[in-house]
Structures are given as C-alpha cells and as structure tokens.
A = this chain, B = another copy of it.
C-alpha cells in the first residue's frame, strides 16, 4: 500500500458548535482538525486509539483564524503531514469555505505508551506498522 501524506474531507458546522457571537467558537477548530486526523488514520486502516497501547498526546498547536464559520456551513478540510521524526508527527491543515480560506492550523503530536489509565505517558518510537503508512507531503515546506 502506497504511503499517504494528505487527506481531504468535509465537515458541516453543528448548532452546538456556535457561540453567542453567531459563529463557531474558536476552540472547535482543533477538534475539527483532530476529527480529520483520525479519519485519515482510518483511511489507511489504522486507529489512533482502540486496543493499541499507543497514544498520541499533543505537543503544540497553532491556529490562524481568517474567516468565521456559521451554523450549517459545509467546509473543506485539507490535512497534510509536514514533518515526521522518530517519535513525532507534525500536521498542517487548511479549512476552506468555497474559494475562501477559513483557517490554517499546525499541530505536533508525539507517540507514547501508557501503563494503565492513570500512569504517565512515555514517549516512544513510532511503531513500524504506523510509520510505513505515512510520509511527509512533497509540498510540506509551503
């Protein structure tokens, strides 16, 4: 199976995601990005969670908000892998509404194991079964 470096999907804004300013609350953008990340993993036959002993806590996040989203807007999500190291992956994401760019996001996430639900996370090398499915996008520097 060819390694994958990007994923495209769409998402419709739900009412409970809006706030009293009439637009999507800014805290929903990282959730939209995470939903796309998990759908990307499913598209290559993987799950970020499930029965696996691995987890992917977030190391850093950045968002630029360019245009507000409103109830029932259906927007496009374009997710790319822009960096991979032994233990981390970095994603960049663009949200668009038709021709208009809505937001850009960047997130770094680290592979960890956890011994039991309250044990600390320990960073670890990304397992081969995951590493062999993904690669950095050719246009990652953009």
Contacts and interface: CB of A to CB of B under 8 A. Distances in A.
A22 B117 contact: yes
Nearest to A107: B26
Interface residues of A, number: 42
Contact of A25 (B16, B47, B118): B16
Interface in A39-56: 42, 47-51, 55
Interface stretch (A66-74, A86-94, A125-133): A66-74
Contact of A15 (B19, B22, B28, B62): B19
Interface of A: 14-16, 18-23, 25-28, 30-31, 34-35, 38, 42, 47-51, 55, 57-65, 68, 70-72, 114, 117-118, 121
28 contacts: A14-B31, A14-B35, A15-B19, A15-B20, A15-B35, A15-B49, A16-B27, A16-B31, A16-B34, A18-B20, A20-B20, A20-B70, A21-B49, A21-B55, A21-B114, A22-B117, A26-B57, A27-B27, A27-B28, A27-B31, A47-B71, A47-B72, A49-B71, A49-B72, A50-B72, A58-B63, A60-B62, A62-B62
